[in-house]
Structure formats: structure tokens, C-alpha cells
Copies of this chain bind each other. A is one copy, B any other.
Amino acid sequence: MFNLPTYLSSGSQWIEEALDRLVLPADTRPAPLHAAMRHSLFAGGKRLRPILCIAAAEACGAKRGAALFPAAAIECLHTYTLIHDDLPCMDNDELRRGVPTCHKVYGEAIALLAGDALQSLAVELAAQSPVAPLEIVKELVDASGSVGVVGGQVEDMLGESLPPDAERLQYIQQHKTGDLIVCACRMGVLASGGSPDTLEAATRYGNAIGEAFQIADDLLNVTSTADQLGKAVGTDADRGKMTALSVYGLDGAKDRLQKLIQTALASLSGFPGDTAPLAALANHVATRKN
């Protein structure tokens, strides 16, 4: 019987240890830069993206070690986007997961540069995959560029204070959140030598849980407490952000979330290996509390 809490804690510990080995020590010259990179990398992240990457590899019949490099890469890339999102010229957040943000501890300039270096490190790690390194690098940069995560971030900013708009919200969710989640799943398949059909199944799975994840996030922003969430709540409405709630309403958003989980589960028949972790992760995304 598959046990998700055990799987999550074992997976996140495995990722933490891998990152600790793969990222230069905090006293490496220049020390403030490496300390800042490590501050944000080890600030209590749930490691969802690397765990999805591992679970996708396992669903191809591989061991999790096959996805070591892309899993570490996606976490570095995700962390860089968080550091830059938190900067004063962006969301100006002081706290993330209950921990002071990078620029609050190291100053804006070092935080900016720590994000830049983590983006570079992500590619460096992806390029070290023993299987399909070039394909994995391409997957990573396609997901992270001007028509990927960065594009989603810009549309999100442009959408603030605009009237709710389902088409724009789709674009934002797809790119700001979805692209990295799809990328994590696809890289896990690529690192396991999976077939094009399996890669396609990973895309369907990732797209569904990517949007589900964002809707769950939007719901938590109104239904959770700062204590549970480790960051301020109610901030989306304060900023006039376009969210699943402002576009679909509370019931509409919950309904959509359930349908997306069904889509994710239906995609699992496209994987040749053990899909219990991916199935449990899909359900987890919809029901998480923080």
C-alpha cells in the first residue's frame, strides 16, 4: 500500500541531500553569494517539483537516481524564480515559508545575483544528466524563458487590476506555474529513456496538476491562515490579482480543480511503470493545506 507522507518526506530528504552535495559550500568565494543561494535553496521548500520529476522517472520503471540531476535542476530554477519574485520591484515579500526572503537577509543586489546564479546552476545540473542531457537542458530553458515562466510572470503583473478574464488567467497559470511542473515531469521521463508516448502522457499529467496546483494556491490564499501557510494570506485580493476565484468564483474554482485531478489520473495509463506516486501526488495537490 503506497504511503504518500513517507514518500514525500523520503523524497524531500533525498533532494535536500543531493542539493547539499551539488551546490557549492556557503563559504565558497564569493561567500555572500553562495550563502544567499543556499539560504533560499534550504528555506523549507516542499520540493514538489523535484519529487514530481522523481515520480515520473519511477512511473517509467526507473529508479529515482535516474532523475537526480533534472530533479536538482528544477529546484534551483524554481528557487531562482522565487528570489526574483520576492524582490522589492516585484512582489516585495519579506517572508516566504515563514523564513525571511533572500533580499531581506542579504540585500537586493546579492539576492538579484543569487537568483541569476541559480538559473545558471540549474542548467549546469541539467547538462549533467547521464541520459538525454541536451534534451533535458532544452526542456528546462523552454519552460523558463520569455514564453515560459518569465512570460507568465509578466502577464500576471500586467493582469493586476484588470477585470477577470478566463483566457488571460489560463495563460498566466499555464506559464507561471504550469510550465515548470510539466517540465519536471517530462525531464523525469527523458532521464529514464521514456518513449515519446510517455512524454506525451507526462505533458497531460503535468498540465492538469499544474493548473490544479495554482487553483489550490488561489483557494489557500483566501481560506487558510498565515500560520498554516507560512506567509501572508488575503494578499491576492489586496493586490487586485487575477485568480481562479476572481474568474470562476469559489464553487467554480473547486469544481475545476476536481476535473483537473480526474484528467491527471486518466493520463497515468500512458506510463509503463508504477504510477502510485503520481496518482497520490495528484490528489495531494488538490487537498494540500499549505
What are 15 A-B contacts defined by CB distance under 8 Å?
A: A24-B147, A30-B146, A30-B154, A84-B112, A84-B116, A88-B89, A89-B89, A89-B107, A89-B112, A109-B157, A112-B112, A116-B150, A117-B146, A120-B148, A133-B134
Provide the bound-state CA to CA distance between A24 and B157, in Å. Answer: 20
Chain B residues closer than 8 Å to A89, beta-carbon distance: 87-89, 107-109, 112
Residues of chain B within 8 A (CB-CB) of A153 are 113
What CA separation (Å) do A123 and B138 show in the bound complex? 8
Which of B120, B145, B147 contacts A150 (CB under 8 A)? B120
Chain A interface residue count, Cβ-Cβ cutoff 8 angstroms: 48
> Are A120 and B134 CB-contacts (below 8 A) given A89-B108, A150-B33, A153-B113?
no
Count this chain's copies in the assembly. Answer: 2
| Alpha-carbon gap, A245 to B28, bound state (A) | 28
> Is A56 in the interface zone, CB < 8 Å from B?
no
| Residues of A136-152 contacting chain B, CB below 8 A | 137-138, 141-142, 144-148, 150-151
